[in-house]
Amino acid sequence: MAAAFRNFLDRNFFRAGIRRRLMLLMLVPLAVVLVVSVRLDFRSSLAPTMAAFDAALINSALGLAGQIRLDGNALVLRLDSQAEQLLRSDTADVVIWALYDNVGLLAGGDRRLPLPITLEGERQVYNATVDGRQVRVARVTRITELGPAHVLVGETYNKRDDSERRILNDQVLPNVLLIAVTLGIVVLAIGAALKPLEQLRADIAGRTARDLHPIDVDAVPVDSRPVVESLNRLFESLRRAEQTQRAFLANAAHQLRTPVTGLTTQIELAQIEGAFDATPERAERLQQGLDQLRQLLDQLLTLSRAEAFGSSAPRFSTVDIKALLEQQAGLFIDRAVARGIDLGYALVPCRTRGVDWLLRELAGNLIDNALRYTPAGGEVTVSCGEDQDGPWLAVEDTGPGISTEDRERVFERFWRGESSRQPGSEAVQGSGLGMAIVREIAEQHRARVEISEARQRTGGNLSPGTRVLVRLPHAASPAQYQPALQPD
């Protein structure tokens, strides 16, 4: 039993939230106060009521005692009309009476009404049982020529029970209402007191994984400042660790670009001098490897810059998505023509709040991925617009598509699907960082990235294709809703 009680406290109190613990700490004392208050008020109100009933019962006995007469050597109690009416006027209880002489023999009335075992004074009120029912009895003793005569008047407990219930109800309801109002005030007070902590929770929950800027200590209660200061120290330690990691990565990538450029130059010179005339495919593989390494270094630098930008508090501005996509897609036209891919547009004017160069990197990586995975003769469509949910941009291709189980894994760094490992695919040259960069930038903009099958089909092309949709936040002044282009 004790162990079960400890487990209950452990689950519902010690591990409970601050709000629940405060509520329990207030509720238990209030419940005790309610019980004690009702009991004391009930007893204080019940005593005078019961005393009034007893006094009325004694008065009835006194009235009957005044009707005692002597009939020779016997006591006689003859009720006049007034006394009889008094006894019959009680409609709530059954009233009976009895007259006993000085030796305790019944001289008149109902023999079911017994004398008390001990006679105490001239007047006495006590409880008795008649036919299994409890009655309240008043005894009045009158001295006659034949000695003491005892008049008993008894009544059932109906009036008393009804009065107890009314008193209890009258006491419980106000006390319960008082406790309820007090508890409501306590709940409101606890909510107001915990509001800064709730705001702190919302602030931390609304951050991205890279957002490590310190929390404003002045905005939290004094009691919570040690916790916030500890969090700020933790954020600072993590920020420094990330800075060190990013600096190393950026420096390494930057330093590697110089030898890669030198190797590219040497290969070109060797080709000019005819060093690869016998084996031109070897020069091509070397060039492809260097191109892949150069792209990897560029994406590592981009990712490092994006993460560094996200760890601070970025300043957003209004960005024209249509103009941005036109410029970015234009950079890939020659590459699309060289591979026989139709690079098309479906752009509707719309704006968002963000960082221009980061959104350019996001769009560029999406277009680059689409071109890599789309076979010759396929199509890539870049689109944007705005609906009830806000502005959006999308890149759609007619490539092999991404399976449902891999749609979350594509955002992992250096992960590439089966299609990227197929010989002859341009995707073989990919680094596996493109979608990781896209998600990093999207998270910094509170944007959402959705991957689905493409809606477009080209002739007899039955490949599922891929559609990557990025839902962006509203601009300060939302663009006009365009129903002609819907992302879903």
Question: What would the pLDDT profile of 168-183 be if each residue is shown by its tens digit?
Answer: 888 778 888 888 888 8
Residue 443 clears pLDDT 90, i.e. is over it: no
Please report the pLDDT score of residue 401 as a whole number: 84
pLDDT exceeds cutoff 80 at 482: no
Containing H/E element for 441? helix 434-444
Model confidence at 333, pLDDT cuts 50, 70, 90, reads very high
Q: Backbone phi, then psi, for 355, in 5-degree steps? A: -105, 120
Task: Check residue 407 and give its pLDDT.
Answer: 81
Asked if pLDDT for residue 159 goes beyond 90, the answer is no
Distance CA 313, CA 405 (A): 34
Q: Please check the confidence at residue 295 and state whether its pLDDT lies above 70.
A: no
- Give one word for 114, left, alpha or beta, with left for phi > 0 and alpha for psi -120 to 50: beta
347: confidence class by pLDDT, cuts 50, 70, 90? very high
Torsion of Cα atoms, 290 then 296 then 301 then 305, to 10°:
160
**343 burial class (0-12, 13-18, 19+ CB within 10 angstroms)?**
buried
- Order across the sheet with 95-100: list the strands: 106-109, 95-100, 147-156, 133-144, 123-130
Judged against a pLDDT cut of 50, whether residue 484 lies above it is answered with no
Residue 424 pLDDT greater than 80, yes or no? no
Instruction: Give the model's pLDDT for residue 171.
Output: 78
Backbone angles phi, psi at 371, to 5 degrees: -65, -35
Whether residue 488 has pLDDT greater than 80? no
Rank 98-102, 201-205, 296-300 by mean pLDDT and report only the highest.
98-102
419 confidence band (pLDDT: 50, 70, 90): low
The pLDDT score that the predictor gives to residue 69 is: 81
Q: For all residues of the chain together, what is the average pLDDT?
A: 78
Q: How many CB atoms lie within 10 A of CB 31?
A: 12
If you count them, how many residues does the chain have? 488
Query: What's the confidence (pLDDT) of residue 476?
Result: 62
Interval 141-169 mean pLDDT: 87
The sign of the torsion formed by the CA atoms of 423, 425, 427, 431 equals: positive
DSSP secondary-structure letter at 314?
-
Mean pLDDT, to the nearest integer, of 198-215? Answer: 77
Judge whether residue 90 has pLDDT over 80. Answer: no
CB 456 within 8 A of CB 396: yes
325 neighbors 374 (Cβ within 8 angstroms): no
More confident residue, 103 or 135: 135
CA dihedral 413, 419, 421, 424 (to 10 degrees): -130
184 pLDDT higher than 80: yes
Instruction: Decide if 395 contacts 367 (C-beta within 8 A).
Output: yes
Please give the structure tokens belonging to residue 33: 């106060």
Q: What does the alpha-carbon distance between residue 439 and residue 230 come to, in Å, rounded to a whole number?
A: 30
Q: What is the pLDDT of residue 324?
A: 93
Contact 481, 387 (CB under 8 A): yes
Bridge partners of residue 71, in order along the sequence: 74
Which helix (H) or strand (E) segment holds residue 39: the answer is: helix 18-65
Q: Name the packing angle between helices 356-373 and 434-444 (round to 10°).
A: 150
pLDDT the model gives residue 166: 87
| pLDDT, position 252 | 63
> Per mean pLDDT, which range of 121-130, 135-144, 230-239, 301-310 is the poorest?
301-310
Determine the pLDDT at residue 218: 80
173-199 burial, b for 16+ CB within 10 Å, e for fewer?
eebeeebeeeeeebeeebeeebeebee
Name the more confident of 459 and 126. 126
Least confident of 44-53, 94-103, 319-328, 474-483: 474-483
pLDDT tens for 7-51 read 655 555 556 567 777 777 777 788 888 788 878 877 888 888 889
- Highest mean pLDDT out of 36-40, 42-46, 202-206, 336-340: 336-340
pLDDT over 80 (residue 329): yes
Could you tell me if residue 153 is left (phi over 0), alpha (psi between -120 and 50 degrees) or otherwise beta?
beta
pLDDT digit string (tens) for 245-292? 666 666 666 666 667 677 777 777 777 777 766 777 777 777 766 666
pLDDT class for 300, splitting at 50, 70, 90? low
Q: How far is CA 305 from the centre of its chain?
A: 36
Question: What is the model's pLDDT at position 389?
Answer: 87
Of 322-331, 372-381, 404-413, 453-462, the range with the lowest mean pLDDT is 453-462
